[in-house]
């Protein structure tokens, strides 16, 4: 998914709850000693008039009446874990100016490949517009980008994704306490594509580990996230001419890097690509550049024995890892709306529908699905933008 398209989704998800949130956090929620926060540094500022101009330039001039606050943005560095290793990770926070207590919104980014595309590393991030709409906006870079760019990115790995997100929430709460910045106890989580997966992973971790840190989750909007990873992977390799080989390479390399399988990359990738895979995905190249360096067909990228093993079940270790890291088979308590476009060529809509059905079978009472009339994965992001606005308004 294109970075700019996800940012528009992020902006709308942030904008629409400004009128819905009102209760201030109590003294009992304050963290007296910093457990996660390492540092925060101002990285930019924006007047409300500049925010309106930017939104108008992007074709969303009708948002002008919502972008009311001057803002400051901060790069936040905090402690989290990748397995047993403590890591310093980072993300961006946008703060609206003023003494009012503002709600929080964690908006997860979509897939990125280049270090320069990390939200906290850009000269100006569209996520910063959250503050102008009256939110304390939080977007984790996730491990492998930003401050932690020298680490392997745990792409579509549940625990490090969720922990990096929740640990940033704790760090931001500590930052706000240090700054004397008020906030409400209400929060929304949203994302599309990898961001949709990350949004559900964050909610799942918070609910199952009772780590809400004093916040009430009003709702989660998750679009086209490939929530059942095994289903997506098996469907992708069955196509052979999958439209973005970079995604398949990224997922496979992530699982090889972040599991103790002690197997050479040639067990997974064709010998023509195995040796260069780490360098190809080290953050120097964007998605388009990675795709240009990869073949057009699944059968040319992967070791044929690996593909056969996925199809007949002999690659049990890999398949079990895909199942373990999926976020489809559970019962969320918070309100969840899942989105997917009819013409998505990257992640099949059936995957999201099956996720909704499975959650309901597991006992979830507030999960729903919204079909989007969109002819591509990227177009689905644009349609979700419109639907998220309507749905979030209904939460008031």
| Cα 138 to chain centroid, rounded | 11
- Interval 294-315: pLDDT, tens: 999 999 999 999 999 999 999 9
Weakest mean pLDDT among 23-27, 29-33, 74-78, 89-93: 23-27
Instruction: Say if residue 89 is in the same domain as residue 221.
Output: yes
Instruction: Say if residue 161 is in the same domain as residue 244.
Output: no
Is pLDDT at 44 greater than 70 in this prediction? yes
- Per-residue buried b or exposed e for 355-388, using 16+ beta carbons within 10 Å of the residue's own CB: bbebbeeeebeebebbbbebeebbbbbbbbbebb
Confidence of residue 276 (pLDDT cuts 50, 70, 90): very high
Instruction: Say if residue 83 is in the same domain as residue 106.
Output: yes
Is pLDDT at 133 greater than 90 in this prediction? no
Query: Of 324, 354, 374, at which residue does a domain stop?
Result: 324
Average pLDDT estimate for 335-362: 97
Instruction: Say if residue 13 is in the same domain as residue 151.
Output: yes
Confidence of residue 59 (pLDDT cuts 50, 70, 90): low
Is pLDDT at 66 greater than 90 in this prediction? no
Is pLDDT at 270 greater than 90 in this prediction? yes
Among residues 108, 266, 126, 114, the alpha carbon closest in space to that of 190 is found at 108
Instruction: Say if residue 262 is in the same domain as residue 221.
Output: no
| CATH, residue 278 | 1.10.260.160
- Interval 83-95: pLDDT, tens: 999 999 999 999 9
Q: What pTM, to 2 d.p., does this model score?
A: 0.90
Query: Of 292, 324, 356, at which residue does a domain stop?
Result: 324
Instruction: Say if residue 184 is in the same domain as residue 253.
Output: no
- The domain of 115 spans 3-227+331-394
| CATH, residue 173 | 3.40.50.1820
Q: How far apart are CA 47 and CA 117, in angstroms?
A: 23
Instruction: Say if residue 242 is in the same domain as residue 214.
Output: no
**How many domains does one find in the chain?**
2
Instruction: Say if residue 81 is in the same domain as residue 100.
Output: yes
Instruction: Say if residue 134 is in the same domain as residue 266.
Output: no
Confidence of residue 122 (pLDDT cuts 50, 70, 90): confident
Is pLDDT at 281 greater than 60 in this prediction? yes
Instruction: Say if residue 354 is in the same domain as residue 261.
Output: no
**Residue 237: which residues within 8 A CB-CB, separation 6 or more?**
248, 298, 302, 307, 310, 311
Q: How far apart are CA 110 and CA 13, in angstroms?
A: 14
Is pLDDT at 143 greater than 80 in this prediction? yes
Is pLDDT at 216 greater than 90 in this prediction? yes
Instruction: Say if residue 283 is in the same domain as residue 371.
Output: no
| Cα 52 to chain centroid, rounded | 25
Instruction: Say if residue 45 is in the same domain as residue 124.
Output: yes
HSE-CB at 274 with a 13 A cutoff on CA atoms is 13
Instruction: Give the model's pLDDT for residue 248.
Output: 97
Instruction: Give the model's pLDDT for residue 345.
Output: 95
């Amino acid at each position: 998914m294109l970075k700019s398209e996800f940012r528009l989704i992020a902006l709308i998800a942030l904008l629409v709850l400004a009128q819905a949130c009102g209760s201030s956090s109590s003294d009992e929620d304050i963290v007296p000693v910093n457990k996660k926060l390492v540092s925060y540094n101002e990285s930019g500022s924006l007047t409300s008039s500049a925010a309106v101009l930017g939104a108008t330039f992007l074709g969303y001039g009708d948002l002008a009446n919502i972008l009311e606050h001057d803002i400051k943005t901060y790069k936040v560095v905090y402690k989290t874990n990748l397995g047993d290793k403590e890591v310093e990770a980072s993300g961006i926070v946008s703060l609206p100016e003023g003494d009012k207590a503002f709600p929080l919104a964690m908006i997860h980014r979509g897939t990125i490949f280049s270090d320069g595309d990390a939200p906290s590393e850009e000269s100006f991030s569209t996520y910063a517009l959250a503050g102008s709409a009256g939110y304390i906006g939080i977007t984790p870079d996730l491990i492998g980008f930003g401050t932690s760019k020298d680490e392997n990115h745990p792409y579509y790995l549940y625990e490090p994704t969720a922990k990096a997100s929740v640990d940033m929430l704790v760090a931001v709460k500590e930052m706000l306490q240090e700054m004397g910045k008020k906030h409400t106890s209400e929060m929304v989580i949203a994302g599309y594509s990898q961001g949709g997966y990350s949004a559900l992973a964050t909610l799942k971790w918070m609910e199952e580990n009772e780590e809400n840190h004093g916040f009430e989750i009003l709702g989660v909007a998750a679009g086209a996230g490939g929530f059942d990873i095994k289903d997506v992977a098996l469907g992708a390799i069955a196509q052979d001419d999958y439209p973005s080989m970079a995604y398949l390479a990224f997922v496979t390399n992530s699982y090889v890097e972040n599991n103790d399988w002690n197997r050479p990359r040639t067990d997974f990738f064709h010998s023509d690509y195995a040796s260069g895979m780490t360098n190809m995905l080290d953050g120097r190249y964007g998605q388009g550049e990675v795709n240009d360096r990869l073949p057009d067909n699944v059968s040319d990228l992967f070791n044929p024995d690996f593909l056969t093993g996925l199809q007949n079940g002999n690659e049990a270790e890999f398949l079990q890892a895909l199942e373990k890291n999926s976020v489809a088979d559970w019962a969320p308590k918070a309100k969840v709306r899942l989105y997917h476009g009819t013409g998505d060529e990257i992640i099949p809509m059936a995957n999201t529908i099956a996720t909704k059905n499975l959650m309901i079978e597991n006992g979830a009472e507030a999960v729903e699905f919204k079909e989007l009339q969109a002819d591509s994965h990227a177009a689905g992001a644009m349609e979700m933008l419109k639907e998220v606005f309507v749905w979030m308004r209904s939460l008031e």
